[in-house]
Amino acid sequence: MKNIKLTILLALFHLASYSQKPNFSVYNNQINLLKQEVKYFKIEKINNKFYMLLGGGGNVGVFISDEEVILIDNKYEILEDVLMASLREITDKPIKYIINTHFHHDHSDGNRAFGKQGIPIISHQNAKKRMMEDIELYGGIYSSIKDFIQPKYDRTSLPVFTYESKMSISQGNEEIELYNFGKAHTDGDSVVVFKNNNIIHTGDAFVRYGYPYVDLNNGGSIKGLIDFLGTLELLCDDNTIIIPGHGGLSKKEDVTKLKNALDDLYTKSVIGLKNGLSYSEISDSIEETLNENLTVKLNYIKTIELELSRD
């Protein structure tokens, strides 16, 4: 009898937790703010075939081939008109494909607008999996991402082509390669290499704003991100132009600088935590080269501790 009561109680508990609606307020507030604030994107020309769109979300790469356009990332659904206005300043060719570098809203929420138009979307298989659920992002590094739940995408907004470790696309005279090198910013990152133009879009696995956000809730790993930056260096030569997930156009030396800074932070954190040092003591031992603020630096050390506890 006791067991039956317990079973019923457990069933009711599950029912209650499943019927509880996720709280999208942090997500909705951010979207509303963007709608009010973002009226245009900065267009940066890289060469006659390549442009970058900056502002209001992750950097969008625009590749213009003979007949069509390929977009890498697409910012927000709410900014579709702004994105199209920017694109039409560059070209009137139609969009053939959209590549998502990962599932985060500021890079892929445009799927909710462009997918409905029948434009095929491409991503890593894990990015698509994340898009099929309401997803809570890891909130332990930047306060703006605390309690942030990204709503799932409907069927028309999901990628139609996915891959596991590498995918190749031919477009005109260009060979486009997508790579996933395992856990880094998330577990579904794509690096997009345009071989003949020598241009790489990294998504958020490489950024220019300070310590890169790592989504520990969704397969991200600081150790993995450092390894990824080492691999990215090998994909680059001194002439490679890198479109980061956020920030200005970059070169191989910028990747090296970020990798070295994170490597130093990671190594000192691991040793410091092992020896029972406080977060502040560990932080004091790390030379700051990325102009990051102290709170984020301390959060990063705590995140490394969390990651180590899961290994």
Q: Which of 49, 57, 59, 104 is close enough to bind Zn ion by CB under 5 A?
A: 104
According to CB under 5 A, which residues from 248 to 287 bind Zn ion?
none
State the minimum distance, in angstroms, from the CB of residue 159 to Zn ion: 16
State the minimum distance, in angstroms, from the CB of residue 164 to Zn ion: 20
Nearer to Zn ion, 101 or 157 (CB): 101
204 lines the binding site for Zn ion (CB under 5 A): yes
User: Exposed, middle or buried, 68 (CB in 10 Å: 0-12/13-18/19+)?
Assistant: middle
Count the neighbouring beta carbons within 10 Å of the beta carbon of residue 198: 13
Q: Which of the stretches 15-23, 100-108, 121-129, 176-184 binds Zn ion when contact is defined by CB under 5 A?
A: 100-108
Q: How many Cα atoms within 13 Å fall on the side-chain side of residue 17? A: 5
Note whether 71 and 44 are within 8 A (CB).
no
**Amino acid, res. 107:** H
Q: Which of the stretches 67-75, 88-96, 160-168, 199-207 binds Zn ion when contact is defined by CB under 5 A?
A: 199-207
State the minimum distance, in angstroms, from the CB of residue 203 to Zn ion: 7
By C-alpha distance, which of 238, 260, 261, 262 is closest to 250?
238
Q: Is 79 helix (H, G, I), strand (E, B) or coil?
A: helix
Nearer to Zn ion, 49 or 102 (CB): 102
Looking up tokens 């477009």, which residue turns up?
A: 171
Q: What is the DSSP secondary structure assignment for residue 116, as one 8-state letter?
A: G
State the minimum distance, in angstroms, from the CB of residue 206 to Zn ion: 11
State the minimum distance, in angstroms, from the CB of residue 302 to Zn ion: 20
246 lines the binding site for Zn ion (CB under 5 A): no
- Give CA–CA dist 100/104, Å, rounded: 9
Nearer to Zn ion, 109 or 307 (CB): 109
Query: What residue ranges bind Zn ion (CB under 5 A)?
Result: 104, 204
